[in-house]
Amino acid sequence: MTDLSSLPLRESLRGQSPYGAPQLDVPYMLNTNENTHPVPPQVAEAITARVATVAGGLNRYPDREFTALRERLAVYLGHGITPDQVWAGNGSNEVLQQILQAFAGPGRTLLSFLPSYSMYPLLAAGTDTAFVDGGRAPDHTLSADHAAEQVRRHRPHVVFLASPNNPTGTALGLETIEAVYAAQARNEAEGGHGAMVVVDEAYAEFALEGTASALTLLPGRERLIVTRTMSKAFALAGARLGYLAADPAVTDALRLVRLPYHLSAITQATAIAALEHVDALLETVEDIKAQRDRIVDTLRRLGLSPSVSDSNFVFFGRLRDAHAVWEALLTRGVLVRDVGIPEHLRVTAGTQDETTAFLDALGEVLREDPAAVVRG
Ligand SMILES: *Cc1c(COP(=O)(O)O)cnc(C)c1O
């Protein structure tokens, strides 16, 4: 056996760490933003029945164009989106990777704004794309002016905007997306190149009232891509299904890089069955939003500073030693996420019981050490 450092690994992967949120076996797993509610029994049965109908035909490759699934995804998205504007992959991570394979790669640049989803730099490294961090304001917000200025300065080929952002949980105003789009158009008009602008809406279903989706911006913007996933609100992280809406030419581009038959017949059957039961699947969303709002209120009362959350998780600051609090919570059976930002932790809004367990454990930890909270 040899070790990694002695293998002829590509330069861009040397020294990198793989994506690695801890998968620990503890009573309360609130660290990866899954929907912690199980799939409702009637939906699990519908999935089983549909998978059973395709099992006998698994000797053949699946529908390469996943036509029936794209039709259903288009209906679910609404906003007049047609099936030829829809594309899907094994999780939105695969879709994001395909976007970089088609539009980025060696000699090209991906611009994003950290702190954001930890996979973005890894997807760049995996496709030999240069990654540029445009940065955020000290309170982690991203203004239209700042984002547009970074696009003008760095002239990227692809821009990733998470809305709501992970780990902070706050959605972007549409004016920021419009400004980024306009800035890449100006880059091109000046004789350079434009950029594909990707809005990652993995948590769109949890948005606060009045938060608009970037889907509303698609008409007339053929470089805009909006990605979604079934991993969060749909409670189907284990099924691996992510998708996007964009101009039909974008799906043509992605056909050039996708692996043959990348979406298995089992995945297609599972996703179609899920989309036939959207109402039952999304029933937990309102409850999760209520738990999220409860977390925000309680953390404020504890003297902490939770960010506005359009998602199923809450990012909060003012912890003198965030990692010590992370460990103290783990001792009490509650696993949250230490995203490596000083004074901050991120917690997923789970069921009512899980949320209570987290809030009780945190209350206890902070009572035991009153100096744990930085007074603002
Ligand atoms: C969880 C998450 C995803 C989802 O990834 P899948 O591959 O669809 O499971 C995408 N983007 C962000 C920002 C996320 O937090």
Look at ligand 1, atom 14, and give the residue with the nearest C-alpha: 202
Q: With b meaning 16 or more CB within 10 Å and e meaning fewer, what string describes 173-196? A: bbebbbbbbebbbebeeeeeebbb
Q: What is the pLDDT of residue 14?
A: 86
Residue with tokens 């036939």: 276
The predicted structure's pLDDT at residue 49: 98
Interval 72-89: pLDDT, tens: 999 999 999 999 999 999
Euclidean distance between CA atoms 334 and 347, whole angstroms? 10
The better pLDDT of the pair 14, 64 is held by 64
Quick one: pLDDT at residue 2?
82
376, pLDDT greater than 90: no
* Tokens representing residue 240 in the block: 């691996």
The mean pLDDT value for 189-194 works out to 96
* pLDDT for the residue 17: 82
pTM of the model: 0.96
Q: What is the pLDDT of residues 352-366, one digit of tens each?
A: 999 999 999 999 999
Show the CA angle centred on residue 27, arms to residues 23 and 33, nearest 5°: 50
Share of the chain above pLDDT 90, in %: 92
Confidence (pLDDT) at 92: 98
Q: How far is the CA of 227 from the centre of ligand 1 (A)?
A: 9
Class of domain 41-276: alpha beta
pLDDT at 203 exceeding the cut of 80: yes
10-39+282-372 and 41-276 share one fold: no
* Three-state SS sequence of the chain: CCCHHHCCCCHHHCCCCCCCCCCCCCCEECCCCCCCCCCCHHHHHHHHHHHHHHHCCCCCCCCCCCHHHHHHHHHHHCCCCCHHHEEEECCHHHHHHHHHHHHCCCCCEEEECCCCCCHHHHHHHHCCCEEEECCCCCCCCCCHHHHHHHHHHHCCCEEEEECCCCCCCCCCCHHHHHHHHHHHHHHHHCCCCCCEEEEECCCHHHCCCCCCCHHHHCCCCCCEEEEEECCCCCCCHHHCCEEEECCHHHHHHHHCCCCCCCCCHHHHHHHHHHHCCHHHHCHHHHHHHHHHHHHHHHHHHCCCEECCCCCCEEEEECECCHHHHHHHHHHCCEECECCCCCCCEEEECCCHHHHHHHHHHHHHHHHHCHHHECCC
Please write the tens of the pLDDT for every residue from 105-163: 999 999 999 999 999 999 999 999 999 999 999 999 999 999 999 999 999 999 999 99
* Contacts within 8 Å (CB) and 24+ apart, 70-76: 72/271, 72/272, 72/275, 72/276, 73/243, 73/271, 73/275, 74/245, 75/275, 76/275, 76/278
Rounded distance between C-alpha atoms, residue 202 and residue 376, angstroms: 32
pLDDT at 15 over 90: no
Tokens 């990012």 correspond to: 315
Tell me the per-residue pLDDT of 175-186, one tens digit each, with 9 for 90 and over. Answer: 999 999 999 999
Q: How far is the CA of 109 from the centre of ligand 1 (A)?
A: 21
Distance CA(39)–CA(234), nearest Å, equals 8
What confidence tens digit (pLDDT) does each residue in 292-319 have?
Answer: 999 999 999 999 999 999 999 999 999 9
| Per-residue pLDDT tens digits for 244-296 | 999 999 999 999 999 999 999 999 999 999 999 999 999 999 999 999 999 99
Distance 202 CA to ligand 1 centre (A): 6
Q: Please state the rounded mean pLDDT for residues 201-222.
A: 96
Q: Which of 33, 122, 166, 315 has most ligand 1 atoms within 8 Å of CB, for mutation?
A: 166
pLDDT of 224 strictly over 90: yes
Specify the ligand 1 atom closest to the Cα of 95: 7
pLDDT given for residue 18 in this prediction: 83
Cα 117 to ligand 1 centroid, rounded to whole Å: 8
| Average pLDDT rounded to a whole number, residues 197-204 | 98
> Predicted confidence band at 13 (pLDDT cuts at 50, 70, 90)?
confident
pLDDT at 159: 98
Q: How far is the CA of 237 from the centre of ligand 1 (A)?
A: 9
Instruction: Output the pLDDT for position 5.
Output: 84
Spatial distance between the Cα atoms of 132 and 304, rounded to a whole number of angstroms:
31
Domain boundaries, the chain: 10-39+282-372, 41-276
Q: Given this model, what pLDDT does residue 374 score?
A: 92
Residue 263 structure tokens = 């979406």
Assigned CATH for 10-39+282-372: 3.90.1150.10
**Ligand 1 — pocket residues by CB below 6 A?**
33, 91-93, 117, 162, 166, 200, 202, 229, 231-232, 237, 242
pLDDT on residue 22: 73
